[in-house]
Every structure is written in C-alpha cells, then in structure tokens.
C-alpha cells in the first residue's frame, strides 16, 4: 500500500498544478479497498501498485462528483471539497483525476484497460440511476440492486477482474468475487447508515433516506407495512426527519426485522463470493472482515 500511495503522489505531482495538489491533499484516503484488492490478487506483479493508484484516483473522482450531486457537506467526517471550495472546483478536480487515471491506464494491456474503463461508464450510469430514483420513493428491490451494482460494485468487480488478468489467474471467479464483495459492502453501509451514530458515520444517521435514497432496509420495511403505514413511510421520504419520525422508522424496522433481512442478503452474497475463491484465505478474510462491520 505504501507503493500505491507513492504512485498516487507521483501521479498528482505530474499534473503540475499546486492547486490540484493542495485540493487532493484535503481528501481523506479512505479504506483503499480497491487498491488493496488488486494487491491481494496480484501481489508479485510490479505494475499492480500503479493499477491500484489509477483505480483510487477514479474512485476519488467519483466521490467528488457524488458529493456535488448529493450536495453533501461531509465526507468521512471532514468537510467535502464542494463545501470548502465550491461545486465547480470539486467537479473540475474530479475531471482532472479521471483524465489522469485514464492517461495512465492506456499503458496497460488492452483487456485490462477495457475492463476498468467500462466499469467507469457503468459507474456513471449507476450514479444517474441513483439520482433518478431519488426523485420518488422506490420500493423495487431488483431496481435498487441493479443501481447498486452499477454505482458501487462494478468498479470493485473490475479491480478483481483486472488484477486476475494481471496475475494470470482465473478472471471469471475473481470477477464474481469482486461483484459480490462490492454489493455486500454497500448493503452493510446501508445498514450502518441506520444503526450507527453520527460520530461513527461522519455524517448524520439515516442520512441516506433524508437524501432520497431508499436502501434495502426501507424497501423491505415498505413490503411488510400495511397501506396506512406505507403512506406514512413514503411521506417521510427525502425530508428532514424529526426525532419521533426516526424512532418510528427504527421501531418498525426492528418489528419487521428488515435490518436482519438486509444483512442476510449481504451474508448470502458474501458466502457466494467465498465459494468461488475458497482456496484464497486472504480474499476470504476480506469478506469476513467486511461482514463484521455490521451491527
């Protein structure tokens, strides 16, 4: 990971603009899940750290744009770039990071470059779907999971796929692993948005629903409620919740076990991922650690 960080520093320095360097340094590094996955799958490949750095620039760019779209003022508990420096600056910084990442990606094998670049197209499509879905209460689980795959899981899937190609390992099994890891990871994040507090999340609890995102626990809750309570839940969508409204939602979720049902899906996807790479103990450990982040 130190080599990944060194490559990221080099790539940012090559942009040769102090403003970009200063803005990028404001960004929180995060878990580096995607780069770490590449290194786990292709640990002996000399170009793996560079590929990891490229993917982390892509991920950072997507988060910058995401914060602008969501009008988010916090990212991992720290003021977002759009909050401190304006949305125009955040979008331009994201564009620069995307462009730099793609200019480096062309040095890789054509198939590897295609896998990563195609995932970015899917990611952008998923972001547009997410925005569209936030305009009204969504109770369609299949539609939500499709958006989740495109917006979150596809880049993780691409990392696993590309790293397997780099290391000459089975690309299909690693692709399945990456897809299910990405979906499980986001479902757990959806759960934590409800079950954790603001200090842990770095943003207000239940913020997803306030922003218009109907995540799995809300979708499952809607499926279990009667007509009157369905109308009440729908009426609270994309609005600031009072303390009593938040308590009501949590009590209903507890009563109908929608958190547990969401976790069960994340566990099922995780188990499927483990089954295709069961001989790789390090990849299995990543899944187990991810699942333990829950409640």
Here the CATH number for the domain that contains residue 73 is: 1.10.600.10
Please, which pLDDT band fits residue 293 given cuts at 50, 70 and 90?
Answer: confident
Q: Is 73 helix (H, G, I), strand (E, B) or coil?
A: coil
Of 107, 124, 146, which marks where a domain is finished? Answer: 107
Angle between the N-to-C axes of helices 18-26 and 2-15, in degrees from 0 to 180, rounded to the nearest 10: 140
pLDDT at 151: 95
The percentage of residues in the chain with a pLDDT greater than 90, rounded to a whole number, is 88
Domain identity same for 57 and 114: no
| pLDDT band for position 50 (cuts 50, 70, 90) | very high
| pLDDT at residue number 123 | 96
Please report whether residue 125 resides in a domain.
yes
**Which CB contacts under 8 angstroms, 24+ apart, belong to 17-20?**
20/93, 20/96
The predicted-structure confidence for 85-124, as pLDDT tens digits, reads as follows 999 999 999 999 999 999 999 999 999 999 999 999 999 9
The DSSP letter of residue 74 is: E
Number of domains in the chain: 2
The verdict on residue 35 lying in a domain is: no
The residue segments making up the domain with residue 199 are 110-295
CA distances from 25 to 19, 195, 240 (A): 10, 31, 32
For residues 19 and 33, give the distance between their C-alpha atoms in angstroms, rounded to a whole number.
27
Same domain, yes or no: 95 and 134: no
Quick: pLDDT tens for 1-40: 999 999 999 999 999 999 999 999 999 767 799 999 999 9
**pLDDT reported for residue 295:** 46
Instruction: Give the bridge partners for 74, in sequence order.
Output: 79
Rounded-to-integer distance, Cα 39 and Cα 178, Å: 13
Judge if 68 and 123 occupy the same domain.
Answer: no
Residue 199's pLDDT is what?
66
185 lies in the same domain as 71:
no
């Amino acid at each position: 990971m130190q080599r990944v960080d060194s490559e990221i520093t080099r790539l940012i320095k090559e942009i040769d603009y102090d403003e970009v360097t200063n803005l990028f340094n404001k960004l929180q590094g995060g878990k580096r899940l995607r780069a770490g996955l590449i290194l786990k799958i292709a640990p002996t490949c000399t170009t793996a750290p560079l590929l990891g750095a490229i993917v982390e620039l892509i991920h950072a760019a997507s988060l910058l744009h995401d914060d602008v779209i969501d009008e988010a003022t916090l990212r991992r508990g720290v003021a977002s770039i759009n909050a401190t420096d304006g949305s125009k600056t955040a979008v331009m910084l994201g564009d620069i990071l995307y462009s730099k990442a793609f200019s480096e990606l062309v040095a890789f094998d054509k198939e590897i470059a295609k896998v990563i670049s195609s995932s970015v197209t899917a990611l952008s499509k998923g972001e547009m779907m997410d925005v569209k879905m936030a305009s009204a209460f969504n109770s369609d689980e299949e539609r939500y999971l499709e958006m989740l795959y495109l917006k979150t899981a596809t880049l993780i899937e691409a990392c696993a796929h590309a790293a397997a190609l780099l290391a000459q390992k089975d690309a299909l099994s690693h692709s399945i692993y990456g897809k299910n890891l990405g979906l499980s990871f986001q479902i757990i994040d959806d759960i934590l948005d409800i079950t954790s507090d603001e200090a842990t999340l770095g943003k207000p609890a239940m913020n997803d629903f306030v922003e218009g995102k109907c995540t799995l626990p809300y979708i499952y809750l809607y499926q279990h409620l009667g007509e009157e309570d369905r109308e009440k839940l729908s009426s609270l969508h994309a609005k600031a919740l009072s303390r009593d409204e938040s308590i009501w939602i949590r009590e209903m979720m507890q009563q109908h076990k929608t958190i547990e049902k969401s976790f069960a899906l994340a566990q099922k996807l995780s188990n499927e991922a483990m089954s295709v790479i069961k001989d790789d103990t390090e990849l299995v450990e990543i899944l187990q650690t991810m699942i333990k982040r829950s409640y």
